[in-house]
Amino acid sequence: MIQLSQPLSELDWIPRPKLTALKRLEIETVEDLLTHYPRRYEDRSEFAGFPRDESETAICICGEVVKTRLVRFGGWKKIFEATLEETNSNALSEPLVLRWFNLHYVQKMIATGQRLVVFGKPRLRGKRLCMEHPEFEVIENDDDISIHFRRITPIYPATEGLPQRVFRGLIYRVLENLALESVTTLLPKNVNLGTREHALHEIHFPTTKEQQVAAREHLVFSEFFAMQMVIGARRSAAASRSGQAHAGGGELLEKFLRGLAFDLTDAQARVIEEVRRDLASTQPMNRLLQGDVGSGKTVVAIAAMLLAVEGGFQTALMAPTQILAEQHYTVLSRWLEPLGVRLALRTAARQEESGALPLFTGDTGRSAPHVIIGTHALLYEGVSFENLGLVVIDEQHKFGVSQRARLTAREPAPDVLVMTATPIPRTLTMTVYGDLDVSVIDEMPSNRGKIVTAVREPAKLPEVLSFMRGQLEAGRQAYIVYPLIDESEKLDVKAAAAEFELWRERLRPFRCDLLHGRIPAPEKQAIMEQFRRGQTSALISTTVIEVGVDVPNATLMLIENAERFGLAQLHQLRGRIGRGAHKSYCILLSEEKSPETVAKLAVLEKTSDGFEVAEADWEMRGPGDLLGTAQSGLPALKLGDLKKDAAIMRQARAAATAVLGADPHLNSPENQRFRELIVEQHGRTFSNVS
């Protein structure tokens, strides 16, 4: 008998080359193979009659090849034709002509006398009914008939080196010999969706359409349930950690707010209160702060840090890029040093500490920095913290769960605030961030100028240029963004380094600078600083400026080859402008006219709301790796669709909450399977389940 967890290489009847091909698809165990689900099904239990007319729906028919021929045209081009007749043809039957253009191998596979099953749309070509490039299978023997035909037949995602029938044959044989007891049903008892074993049979070789639908529901529920169990386990692990109250009295915060040149938005004030409550509690904070680009998350982070500093704790602020860490260091130094707060910067490239300053009242007199700002270096460079009370992670979607854990998994637990500019739709938040409490800044500061976004062809560059010059003359600044650094990256894309000279010409006499990832860190820092101070008018840059960079006087952004960026990324990039009172302009240069690109770029012309952009992205691309399952440490979804199956997700969430509510440590015998197969596989880092 075959075990579910068995490696396929142990099944000696699978030929080597097939194993290799499977491995390329990351199918290495029996379970991998059985969770390679069909893309669709063909009801071959009864074949359709031969068509009389053309139709828009594809049909599946079975017949006999009565003639084949090769037609040449235009020199080397070939059409291979096979004429198919109904098996019990009568005087009224019309043959169907199957046609393939320039597909040499098809010709080798099809011969007169064979029986074929074909799937495609019948079309009139002249007087003949034809199917062009149909999917087809040759019926070879009676065994074939029972596996591949006379049933609802699974059709697998097309793969190289592994034809449909190989997959079907392998899966059929594995299912026939699968040891029942090796297939654990990963659903709680009160969820009545049958056994996993049954579901696996029915998803691949459904007895009826209804059975297939039920099997899918079982498997989708299982996937979602596993995900929710991991999230739930993380949540309860976090909740059971012992923390400390970290909030000080708030005088320091008051001073900071009084010194600001603007009033907080209502949303900012509300979120600061939410954070203050968490900080004051001894329960460790695990809060996600969501807010569109430019909504003012940094101020909230500072408020949180000041409360913790006044409470006598050290705080850390982690950013994904050196440029952003430097910016935070600059901005925070300006705002906080006058309050007597000592800051330190820790990046791989640079370490700096602010000088001795008069201490604010209540300081214990230690000389360790109160606020440590850094990049990933904070995790690895042996930075030692004294009394770390609060960790803030900016642009958290750029970090993995394990990185987050590295900074926060210490005892006693520090409070954790992670910030993100909503790369995911609102409806998904609970799914993905179910282990966190969520605060949302749903309001932009009122002093913001509008952002106008326009898509232009490169041919329009002269007009674009004169517009840009007008803006620069009015004292504004510009970003010009390229997808790549230099042309060595092969693709036919104009690269920042090569185009820099050209832009200098175009924008003369305004000062331009070039910024990209390979420029040494101190120089990068100097370039940003000059731009921030307005000494440079235009920055020709790669996506190193994608996150966090805040220069309110920069109101112009031109993105070259905009089609090469994803929607979320374009929105992030565009978030660099529209940060001040002036009206801003984002020009997306692209000559690509494919419907997908046109639709994608049109979204940005239509809205500058990050939530709307995220929803549209989801609509167009599907959730894809939105979850970043690899990064989030959650089990992957192979079948479940976060949008279509949202109702199942809600049920799965409720089921997981119930199981963990009744048995938080998963100690009961019947919950062992969840603990072993779900939580331990995926949630180790955060799990208190031991």
Does residue 237 sit in helix, strand or coil? helix
Residue 537's alpha-carbon distances to 31, 521, 580, 654, in angstroms, are 58, 21, 16, 55
To which H or E segment does residue 174 belong? helix 164-176
CB-nearer residue toward ligand ADP: 550 or 615: 550
Separation of CA 303 from chain center: 30
Q: Is 296 in the site for Mg ion (CB under 5 A)?
A: no
By C-beta, is 263 or 605 nearer to ligand ADP? 263
How many residues interact with Mg ion (rule CB under 5 A)? 1
Q: Does 447 sit near ligand ADP (CB under 6 A)? A: yes
Amino acid occupying residue 193: L
Supply the minimum distance, in Å, between the C-beta of residue 289 and ligand ADP.
Answer: 9
3-state helix, strand, coil in the chain (%, to 5): 40, 20, 40
Choose the contact partner of 264 out of ligand ADP, Mg ion, none; CB within 5 to 8 A by kind. Answer: ligand ADP
Quick one: CA torsion of 406, 411, 417, 418, rounded to 10 degrees? Answer: 20
Partner touching 296 among ligand ADP, Mg ion, none, CB below 5 to 8 Å by kind: ligand ADP
At what angle are helices 209-239 and 196-204 packed, to 10 degrees? 130
Can residue 548 be called a binding residue for Mg ion (CB under 5 A)?
yes
Binding status of residue 575 toward Mg ion by CB under 5 A: no
The residue among 294 and 683 lying less far from Mg ion, judged by its C-beta, is 294
For residues 574-613, which are near ligand ADP according to CB under 6 A? 579
Residue closest to ligand ADP when measured from CB atoms: 296
Q: Which entry of Mg ion, ligand ADP, none binds 354, CB below 5 to 8 A by partner kind?
A: none
Per CB under 6 A, contacts with ligand ADP among 250-269 are 262, 264-265, 268
Give the residue with the Cβ less far from Mg ion, 571 or 675: 571
Q: Is 232 in the site for Mg ion (CB under 5 A)?
A: no
- Using DSSP's 3-state secondary structure scheme, residue 416 falls into strand
Q: Measured between alpha carbons, how far is 549 from 331 in angstroms, rounded to an integer?
A: 11
Closer by beta carbon to Mg ion, 512 or else 549: 549
Query: E-assigned strands of 222-368?
Result: 286-291, 314-318, 343-346, 351-353
Q: Does residue 50 contact residue 59 with C-beta atoms inside 8 Å?
A: no
Helix (H) or strand (E) holding 221: helix 209-239
User: Shortest distance, CB of residue 299 to ligand ADP, whole angstroms?
Assistant: 5
Q: Is 414 in the site for ligand ADP (CB under 6 A)?
A: no
540 to 559: interface string for ligand ADP, x by CB under 6 A: ----------x-x-------
| Smallest distance, ligand ADP to C-beta of residue 441, A | 7
Q: Which does 265 bind (CB under 5 to 8 A by kind): ligand ADP, Mg ion, none?
A: ligand ADP
Tell me the closest approach of the beta carbon of residue 302 to ligand ADP, in angstroms. Answer: 9
Q: Could you please report the per-residue DSSP string of 527-569?
A: HHHHHHTTS-SEEEE-GGGSSS---TTEEEEEETTGGGS-HHH
In this complex, which beta carbon is closest to Mg ion, that of residue 118 or of residue 419? 419
Choose one: 402-410, 491-499, 548-556, 680-688; the region binding Mg ion (CB under 5 A): 548-556
**427/636 Cα distance (integer angstroms):** 19
d(CA 378, CA 401) in angstroms, rounded, equals 15
Give the 3-state secondary structure of residue 243: strand
**Least distance (Å) from Mg ion to the CB of residue 657?**
33
Q: Which is nearer to Mg ion, 328 or 682 (CB)?
A: 328
- In the complex, the smallest distance separating the C-beta of residue 548 from Mg ion, rounded to whole angstroms, is 4
101 binds, among Mg ion, ligand ADP, none (CB under 5 to 8 A by kind): none
Phi first, then psi, for residue 234 (nearest 5°) are: -65, -40
Q: Is the Cβ of residue 64 or residue 546 nearer to ligand ADP in the bound state?
A: 546
In the bound complex, what is the minimum distance in angstroms from residue 271's beta carbon to ligand ADP?
A: 11
Nearer residue to Mg ion within complex by CB, 613 or 639:
613
Measured from the CB atom, is 296 or 425 closer to Mg ion? 296
- Position with the least CB separation from Mg ion: 548
| Closest distance to ligand ADP from the beta carbon of 547 (Å) | 9
Least distance (Å) between residue 328 CB and Mg ion:
8
- In the complex with Mg ion, the residue whose CB is nearer, 309 or 392, is 392
Strand order of the sheet with strand 96-101?
Answer: 123-125, 128-132, 96-101, 77-85, 59-73, 115-120, 135-139
Three-class DSSP category at 613: helix
262 binds, among Mg ion, ligand ADP, none (CB under 5 to 8 A by kind): ligand ADP
**Residue 286 interacting entry, from ligand ADP, Mg ion, none, C-beta within 5 to 8 Å by type:** none
Rule CB under 6 A: say whether 445 interacts with ligand ADP. Answer: yes
* Binders in 125-184 for ligand ADP, by CB under 6 A: none
Nearer to ligand ADP, 370 or 579 (CB): 579
Tokens encoding 242: 């012992």
268-307 residues near ligand ADP, rule: CB under 6 A? 268, 291, 293-299
**Which of residues 455 and 545 has its CB atom nearest to ligand ADP in the complex?**
545
Give the residue from 59, 43, 46, 44 showing the smallest Cα distance to 129.
Answer: 59
Cα dist from 582 to 236, 297, 479, 551, whole Å? 47, 20, 15, 12
CB of 315 to Mg ion, least distance (A): 17
What are the E-state strand segments in 394-535? 415-420, 437-441, 451-456, 477-481, 512-515
The two three-digit tokens of residue 370, written as one number: 């109160």
In order of 502, 528, 564, 661, the CA distances from 569 in angstroms are 26, 21, 10, 39
What does the binding site for Mg ion look like in residue numbers (CB under 5 A)? 548
What does the binding site for ligand ADP look like in residue numbers (CB under 6 A)? 262, 264-265, 268, 291, 293-299, 421, 445, 447, 550, 552, 579
